[in-house]
Structure 1
Amino acid sequence: MSKLQALLFERVNKREVIDFVEGVNGLIAVTANTVYLVRGSFLEKKVVKTYAIKSISSIEIRKPNLITNGHFQIIASGSGDRTKRYSTAFDYAKDENTVMIRSNYEHFLRIEQLIYKQRDKADHVTEIIAPVAVAKEDDDVFSKIEKLASLKERNLISAEEYEKKKAELLSQI
């Protein structure tokens, strides 16, 4: 086990990690809701960055060639790509959101697809849950109005109090 893997598994339960891949200066690990980027080459301080799957807006991946390393860069919402349009491999190597690739490019491609798959799965769950939550809120408002009507019928609150509270509750919908 490499030092980067050991650092990752100090923070994350090994069973939660779906897949991971190690590059030149770091590794990328994917769980159901989080992507971990662990960086730290020989002279570099070891750091673990976490990204919520939902916050990843894009990934830039470049294949290594005979002369230069490739790279795997995570771009999350709220933090733009800080590298220039015509950046060199050296610029990417300095970027904290990037892991350099020398070999196992295909594994990095699989990790990229896994991240997008997990993100899409999280978006799909949100699409299903959000309308259900709104429906529950609406039902909750109507059940409160029914309780108010019951209180009014039993003369526990006045008609004015009922109308005022009913208008307040209906404004929440």
Structure 2
Amino acid sequence: MSKLFQALIENVNQREILDWAEGNSAVLAVTKERVYLVKTNTWSRPNIKSYDIRSITSLHLQKPGFMAGHMQIIASGVGDKTKSLSSAFDYAKDENTIMIKDNYDHFLRLEQLIYKQKEPKNESTPPQPSEPEEDVFMKLQKLKGLVDAEIISQEEYEEKRLELLARI
């Protein structure tokens, strides 16, 4: 277990962590409601920064290539200190960025997990609006016309009539 992950679980209940990944001198962990970024420099203690999932406005994930890749967290109230054409060095200095090199696919899954956790939880489906009574009566009239024109049978008419009346 890495020193950074150890620092994380000293401050966060390990059972709450849905997934995590280690980057260059940093760890990113996701829970149901928060994202944790644990970073360290050579001479400092690990620094834990947490973000409320709902405050995250976007994630910038850059696949590693010639240079290291990164995942930057952009949240409301957290300024983006990098410019649109920044170098990997600028991202490495940003406190809201984790540098990555060989586990890009894992960070891609974390990105998807974060966005999934941001989706509003639909505890119960809202009640469906009932059909207005006028529409039901119009359908009953049309149904009566179909049985009178012998397009549907009397049995089909009764079955549909009872269904429509149950909606009132």
TM-score norm. by structure 2 comes to: 0.70
- In the other structure, the counterpart of 1:53 is 53
Is the contact between residue 25 and residue 41 of structure 1 (CA under 8 Å) also seen in structure 2? yes
Where does the alignment leave 5 or more consecutive residues of structure 2 unmatched? 127-168
Change in 2 beyond 3 A, CA 1:86/1:20? same
Where does the alignment leave 5 or more consecutive residues of structure 1 unmatched? 132-173
Rounded to whole Å, the distance in 2 between the matches of 1:14 and 1:45 is 20
1:85 to 2:81 alignment:
no
Choose 1 or 2 for highest CA Rg: 2
Rounded to whole Å, the distance in 1 between the matches of 2:42 and 2:115 is 31
Can you list the C-alpha shifts for 1:109-131, whole angstroms capped at 9, x where unaligned?
000000000011xx2359x6xx9
- In the other structure, the counterpart of 1:71 is 70
Q: Detail structure 1 runs of 4+ shifted over 6 Å in the superposition.
A: none
Change in 2 beyond 3 A, CA 1:47/1:58? same
Q: Report the identity percentage.
A: 54
Root mean square deviation of aligned Cα: 1.8
Rounded to whole Å, the distance in 2 between the matches of 1:21 and 1:74 is 15
- In the other structure, the counterpart of 1:103 is 102
Can you list the C-alpha shifts for 1:22-75, whole angstroms capped at 9, x where unaligned?
00021110001010000114344420001001000000010111x210001000
- In the other structure, the counterpart of 1:9 is 9
Q: Greater helix share, 1 or 2?
A: 1
Rounded to whole Å, the distance in 2 between the matches of 1:108 and 1:60 is 11
Rounded to whole Å, the distance in 2 between the matches of 1:105 and 1:44 is 26
Is the contact between residue 35 and residue 50 of structure 1 (CA under 8 Å) also seen in structure 2? yes
1:115 to 2:114 alignment:
yes
Query: C-alpha displacement at 1:14, in angstroms?
Result: 0.8
- In the other structure, the counterpart of 1:24 is 24
Give the number of aligned pairs. 126
The aligned amino acid for 1:69 is A
Query: C-alpha displacement at 1:13, in angstroms?
Result: 0.9
